[in-house]
Structure 1
Amino acid sequence: MKVCILMGSPRLNGNTASLVEPFANELKKHDAEINIINLYTKTIHPCVACRKCQDVSGSFGCPQKDDMQFIFHSIIEADIFILATPIYSWYCTPPMKAVLDRLVYGMNKYYGNIEKKECLWENKKCAIISTCGYRVEKGADLFEQGIIRYCKHSNLNYIGMLAIRDEGYHTPFINDQKIEQTKLFAGHLADLFSAK
């Protein structure tokens, strides 16, 4: 099982990273190969809706010169990709949003002049790891709903979200209970993959 984790946090040692580490370690116990891509260290331009990618069959096809081609290949090679992001203003961070915008066009050739419409990542599995300051049902719910729609549009298999609340700046975020939640989520995803 190959897992690509797109890390959308600007803080390399922040709350989201403190969940990704035990998550990745638990998946390794299930013989997973883990590829973590820190989006804040990559050059990712926003989509400009030129739609040139729509007329390129079989590949990403975006004419912008940045790190998205690398991210595209990393997701194509993975069995599961994870969107790991803190929630800012009820949605993911800016580089994660830019990645999602670029992929929804580059992976889905629905809008151009290609005779046969293509979905380059059809049936790939997608999950979320998120942290938020509000209660999860009011903090991470809109992002999850957006990704559920995104997955339906892109013929992806959405397989769930681990969302954990930060109780405040004066309360340590990570603890044994949260680490155990994270390990259970990793085990759940591994079981889903092995059951296919």
Structure 2
Amino acid sequence: MQKKILGIAGSPRKAATYESLQVALEGAQTLCADELNVELVSFKGKKIAPCNHCNACKRNGGRCVVDDDMTPLYESLVEADSFIFASPVYAMNMTPQLSAFFSRMRALHDRDGGKLRNKLATAIAVGGRRNGGQELAISNIVHACLTRGIVYIGGEPGFYSGAMVWSGDKGKDVLSFDEEAGNSLRSLGRRLAYWTLLIAAGKSLVGEGEVQMSKYMF
């Protein structure tokens, strides 16, 4: 059965971040295309409100009562084995849209002990300047993943926490502007693909019992 890597382009536009994510997903498929299925979701045109902690999801089995463009994404999150979260840098952070998306994942914690627990993820940050806050944006994505029970996978030496792209505000021409970006993005995609398949093989041996550990937590 194929494993699924879901790419989330957390930008309200379809430019450098979208292109960077495409390259990373292509890199993932070069590892073992027959075993992997990739999908890319763009936030362009989508309206995703932040969680307001009304706690309705805790009372009704994990169903969020806010009905917007996040609603159809819940099952995509559940179905995926791994994620690549990509964001342009806004004020030294991920976009407000991606932050709202992470906050709304809270509803999945109340489904069967946590529907996102032990899934894998990595991240891409695209900055208009060479040192425009990419590491800080990725750091916040890492911690957002940890709050949702997602296991974070870093990159190779030289881009330890994830792929950091310098766009120079060139839009879709980002790879011709930042010549190193393509290599780091493809390598990051392959690394996540490797761990996705490795964890899947391990689960076939030990089963899903560890997922239920959440019931012992307070």
> In the alignment, what sits opposite 1:163?
164
> In the alignment, what sits opposite 1:120?
115
Q: Is the 8 A contact 1:107 1:121 kept in 2?
A: yes
- Larger CA deviation: 75-84 vs 28-37: 28-37
1:130 aligns with 2:125: yes
1:37 aligns with 2:6: no
What is the RMSD computed on CA atoms of the aligned residues?
2.3
Matched position secondary structure for 2:142: helix
Structure 1 outlier segments of 4+, above 4 Å: none
1:153 aligns with 2:156: no
Q: Whose strand proportion is higher, 1 or 2?
A: 1
1:56 aligns with 2:60: yes
The count of corresponding residues between Structure 1 and Structure 2 is 184
Quick one: distance in 2 between partners of 1:148 and 1:26?
21
Matched position secondary structure for 2:94: coil
> In the alignment, what sits opposite 1:91?
93
1:9 aligns with 2:11: yes
1:22 aligns with 2:17: no
Q: Is the 8 A contact 1:132 1:140 kept in 2?
A: yes
**Identity in percent:** 23
**1:169 to partner: Cα distance:** 5.4
Deviations 1:164-192 (A, max 9, x none): 1234559x531353222211111111122
Quick one: distance in 2 between partners of 1:54 and 1:85?
29
**1:5 to partner: Cα distance:** 1.1
Q: Is the 8 A contact 2:81 2:120 kept in 1?
A: yes
TM-score between the two structures when normalised by the length of structure 1: 0.82
Quick one: distance in 2 between partners of 1:36 and 1:168?
22
Matched position secondary structure for 1:41: coil
TM-score between the two structures when normalised by the length of structure 2: 0.75
Distance 1:23 1:64, change over 3 A: same
Quick one: distance in 1 between partners of 2:28 and 2:170?
29
Matched position secondary structure for 1:72: helix
> In the alignment, what sits opposite 2:67?
65
Distance 1:181 1:148, change over 3 A: closer
Gaps of 5+ in 2: 155-161, 200-218
